[in-house]
Every structure is written in C-alpha cells, then in structure tokens.
A and B are shown apart, each in its own frame.
Chain A
C-alpha cells in the first residue's frame, strides 16, 4: 500500500496536498481498496463553502456507499469532472488522476491537526 510523504491524512481516509493556499483532496489507497469498484462520485458544484468535518459528497461503490468529509475548511474551487465518466480512476490512481476536489483553505492551521504519512500508516497498522 502506498503512503506518499508529501500528503496530510485524515481519520476518515482522505488526503490533502497543499500548494499555496489550495488543497487538493482525494481518498487514500487504503480507502479505495476497502471500497472496491467505485461507480459514482457525487460532489457539489464549485463555489460551495465547506467546513472541516462536513460531509461534502458521497462515493458509491458496488459494495457500499461512503461519505466524504472535508479535511479542511474553505471554498470549493474545482471538482474533478473527469470522474463523472471515469469514477474508477479513483481506484486506479487515488493520489494522482483520481483527485476529487480542490479547496481554497480559509485556515491553514487546520492542516496541523491532520496526520503525516508515518502517523497514518501507523494508524492502519502498517
């Protein structure tokens, strides 16, 4: 299983990559593996405001449905519309092409509450 060093991780198995004040958000390799075949991703249109911990969308897999929780607060500036036609990209490349949304962070300090790769890996018992 893959745990990129440059990301921050949540208890709910999302990841955040910060560039400037924009956080790219997706679900972890562990999460996509547990979900299995992902068939729909339902996320709001850009410009929505989210608070850290809020559910901002759902992932439907064949086996189950999972809510996605915003790791950080801010404005949704971009959604990965390629996932509408190819949700399985999240299974294939969860840290790359399978990114889900970009959030303009309203409070950079929130990132400090998230786990680094080592802590997330330890949480999963690896």
Chain B
C-alpha cells in the first residue's frame, strides 16, 4: 500500500506530478517544473514536503552510549539544541544510512533517517539495542516535516513565530522548540539545499498540516514563495556535493571513500564498523567519490554510467544532472585514487560513446 503524507491532498490540488518514492506518493514537481523550482530555492523561498523522512526517538540513561555505538560522528560533542550530520555503518563498514542526530535532552536523542530506509534502519536500531538501557520509538508515521528553504526563508518564518530565529540566536545545525502559526514544533536550521533554510517537525492531523502550510504560503507570498518538489531537491543537493543514499553511498561504500571522513570520529570510542574503517584509513581507500564537470556538449551523466581513462574502466557515476545554476552538466562518481585530484581527465561512457569530463573539487557551487 502506498503511503500518503498529511499534505498529499494539497499537492494534488496544486497539480503536482506525483510519483512513488520511498513507499510514499510524493510530489516530484509542480507545474512550474524542476528548473523553475530550483531557481525559486536559490533566489527566493520554497516549501518541500519531506514527511516521508523517518524519525526515531532514543530515550534512557544510556541514550548517548547507544547513539555513539550506532553512529560514526561524535554525539558526545552535541549540546541540547544542537544537530549533527552522521552515518550508521554495518560492522563491515558499509553504510546503513546517513542521518541527522538531534540532542533533545541529556538522556534523549532524535534520529532523522531517509524515508526509503525507515524499515531497514528501524530493524538495525532494534537489533543494536541489546545491552543498552534505552527505549526506542519510531515516530515516522506521526511526524510531519516541511523544509522551508531559500534566502527569504527566515523572513517568511519570522512572521509566524515568537521564537528568536535570528542568525545570532540560531546558527546552522541547531534547533529550538517553538510555535509556528500556533503549532508546537521543532524549528531546525537545517536543510539539503545549501541555502538558508529551516526544517519544521510537528505532529497533528491534516487540519494542522494545512494550517501550517497555508500560513507559510501566506507569509512567504511577498517573497514569491512556491511549493517545490523532490526533483529540484536532487539538483540542489548535487550542486552542493551532498551525498544521496542509494546513489552516492550505500551498503557497499564506506564513509572514508565517500568523503565522509569528517563525520567519522575514530577516536571517540567503539562504534559499528570502526575496525574496518580504521583499516581503510590505514591502507588508503581503493576509490574516492569525486565531483566532475562534463566538457562534452549535450550530455548529462546519470547514475550507473561507467567512467573510463583510455581503455580502462576506472569507476562509475553515482549522480549526475544539468546544474541549473551553472548551466553545465555535473556529476559525482567513484574513481581510482590516481584520478581523484582536481584537474584529472576522465571519460563518461554512455550509448556507445565517450564524453570527456574533468574532476573538480566539490562543492560545484
């Protein structure tokens, strides 16, 4: 059975193109199209319904110990009100998922995981619970999540809340509890677009959801706010070089080769996958996730295309698209270590042809 969010009827009323994603029917775009919506986020303000994302609550005396065990980043560095980007790994170093860790209280954390991975992640969290004095709760079905993103997101949101969401009071990767349009929620200064933005977590039924949605649309009207879909979420994150689980990272990739060494804190103590990750670090990864710009005309790299140097396959593309902001085809992919440096020449193979590309340092934008 395909799941809906509390905003599904709103999307339909806006003539969104709905697709099945992560077991949900979700808007991939509205009539304006992906490039238009991309530009809305870079230049104005837009709302994404990302209620398909999963939220797990970890509570109890050993909540921190448990989070430290299952994630790669150092959750002991979190203060209440702080958010951290992290990853969960299998014992073999493969990535279960990438996630956000919210410290709610000294004995409570919230884990925000990818919608497509909720079932698998939940099972993994439950399987790892043994020996820890904690309780786990999967709140994914009851929490709605809207991402309000774009340079005018703060101006829009500040009209609807008494909470101090100024840059001085609420920095990137922090959150606070507050009311927006009279609805209790977590106001989080996070996002997947690389723009100023907030993510709003709240409960309640369709009426509550509509109240928040309508209030945001109304408050953002003077800034040109629009509803935007998952299509532009992908082009926005790609321009910033953010990994997408299932494309750039998965259970066959480790955090080091994926360029996620900065969220892998070897010295924090034991955690799932640490032994393998240590070995990868010592022996150097056999491949690296890099960004590249295609030099060829009229070609867009896509997930799965092979990467060559001469007659030798040296890797494969994990993500690619036309960058709407740069108006150039860009991509990410794994390549052999000797091609990881910016300036390396590579070729993308597709439809029996080769398309030249150059490795560049990410982000693209």
A is bound by B: yes
With A58-B351, A60-B322, A62-B231 already in contact, the answer to whether A42 and B34 are too (CB < 8 A) is no
A91 to B322, CA, bound (A): 17
Q: Please encode chain A, from 61 to 74, with 1 for each CB lying within 8 Å of some chain B CB and 0 for all others.
A: 01111010000000
A69 to B299, CA, bound (A): 18
Q: Is the CB of B300 within 8 A of A65?
A: yes
Q: Is the CB of A63 within 8 A of B28?
A: yes
**Chain A residues with CB under 8 A of B178:** none
**Separation in Å of the B26 CB from the closest CB of chain A?**
14
Determine whether A3 belongs to the interface, using a CB cutoff of 8 Å to chain B.
no
Q: Is the CB of B298 within 8 A of A60?
A: yes
B 34-69 contacts with A by CB, 8 A: 34-36
With A62-B231, A63-B34, A63-B231 already in contact, the answer to whether A40 and B321 are too (CB < 8 A) is no
With A36-B34, A58-B351 already in contact, the answer to whether A41 and B321 are too (CB < 8 A) is no
Contact-residue bracket for chain B: 10 to 19
**Separation in Å of the B355 CB from the closest CB of chain A?**
11
The chain A residue with its CB closest to the CB of B321 is A62
**Chain B residues with CB under 8 A of A63:** 28, 34, 231
Q: Is the CB of B35 within 8 A of A37?
A: yes
**Chain B residues with CB under 8 A of A36:** 17, 29, 33-34, 231
**Chain B residues with CB under 8 A of A64:** 302
Determine whether B235 belongs to the interface, using a CB cutoff of 8 Å to chain A.
yes
Partner of A62, one of B17, B35, B351: B35
Partner of A37, one of B34, B298, B302: B34
A62 to B36, CA, bound (A): 11
A40 to B35, CA, bound (A): 13
Determine whether A39 belongs to the interface, using a CB cutoff of 8 Å to chain B.
yes
The chain B residue with its CB closest to the CB of A87 is B298
A 40-85 contacts with B by CB, 8 A: 40-42, 58, 60, 62-65, 67
A36, A41, A67 — most chain B CB neighbours (10 Å): A36
**Chain A residues with CB under 8 A of B235:** 62
**Chain A residues with CB under 8 A of B298:** 40-42, 60
**Chain B residues with CB under 8 A of A60:** 298-300, 322
B 320-364 contacts with A by CB, 8 A: 321-322, 324, 351
**Chain A residues with CB under 8 A of B299:** 40, 42, 60
**Separation in Å of the A61 CB from the closest CB of chain B?**
9
**Chain A residues with CB under 8 A of B231:** 36, 62-63
**Chain B residues with CB under 8 A of A91:** 33
The chain A residue with its CB closest to the CB of B34 is A62
A92 to B28, CA, bound (A): 19
**Chain A residues with CB under 8 A of B351:** 58, 67
The chain B residue with its CB closest to the CB of A39 is B322
**Separation in Å of the A82 CB from the closest CB of chain B?**
15
A120 to B325, CA, bound (A): 37
A42 to B298, CA, bound (A): 6
Known: A42-B299, A64-B302. 17 other contacts (CB 8 A): A37-B33, A37-B35, A37-B36, A39-B35, A39-B300, A39-B322, A40-B298, A40-B300, A60-B299, A62-B235, A62-B321, A62-B322, A63-B28, A63-B34, A63-B231, A65-B300, A91-B33
Nearest 6 A/B pairs, CB to CB: A40-B298, A42-B298, A62-B34, A60-B300, A37-B33, A37-B35
Q: Which residues of B contact A (CB under 8 A)?
A: 17, 28-29, 33-36, 231, 235, 297-300, 302, 321-322, 324, 351
